Chain A
């Protein structure tokens, strides 16, 4: 199975900061990667799919990049509502064995 490793596991940041989260796949997954945001007590929300495609309705301060094994989620200017846990997820394997990274918690500094 493809393993997904996120770093850091947590980050402290202030409103207005630029935040970058990385995700590494244990083998190449082309651009088959998504990013999700999860707030406490809520279901995850799709932010980015196909590594860099912004899901409808998601603010443009969120962006994704990368291909192969290394990927990045960037929040260009952190807003109060962005404090949450973020997960990457690969969708490359067939038959499907979809896997998530361990999560990155973005906390208030």
Chain B
């Protein structure tokens, strides 16, 4: 059974930093691209970032480019999101999501999410 378990979400002040983690199990982690997708409270879904199966290629939404960094450790079956220069508008539930293939761009499994609140 595929499982994705996010952690690391907390309340952080504007301008602060945070690192989210996602532990994956139930599939061959290094066969798939992985994503972060977020959802602000009561709002819709926003894709945040994509990393290729080997970590060699990364892509970001314009809203986070230059502030967030996606990475992965295939030896630990783990995905990460380093978030710097956080803003109030980054407040959201952050989901880790598995790509349907090497980078098909569709999300076939999701975690339960971890809540990031940016507030003073």
Residues of A that sit less than 8 Å from B by CB? 1, 32, 34, 36, 38, 43-46, 49-50, 55, 87, 89, 91-92, 95-103
Q: Report B55-98 CB contacts with A as 1/0, cut-off 8 Å.
A: 00001011000000000000000000000000000000001000
Q: A49-B104, A49-B106 are in contact. Are A43 and B95 (CB under 8 A)?
A: yes
Subset of 7 A-B contacts with CB under 8 Å: A44-B95, A46-B107, A49-B104, A89-B47, A89-B107, A97-B59, A100-B47
Residue of B nearest to A87 (CB): B45
Q: How far is the CB of B76 from chain A (nearest CB, A)?
A: 22
- Specify the main secondary structure of chain A where it touches its partner: loop
Residues of B that sit less than 8 Å from A by CB? 35, 44-47, 50, 59, 61-62, 95, 100, 103-108, 110-113
Contact check, A96 vs B110: say whether CB atoms are below 8 A apart.
Answer: no
A-B contact count (CB 8 A): 59
Contact check, A87 vs B100: say whether CB atoms are below 8 A apart.
Answer: no
Contact check, A55 vs B112: say whether CB atoms are below 8 A apart.
Answer: no
Q: How far is the CB of B64 from chain A (nearest CB, A)?
A: 12
Q: How far is the CB of A53 from chain B (nearest CB, A)?
A: 9
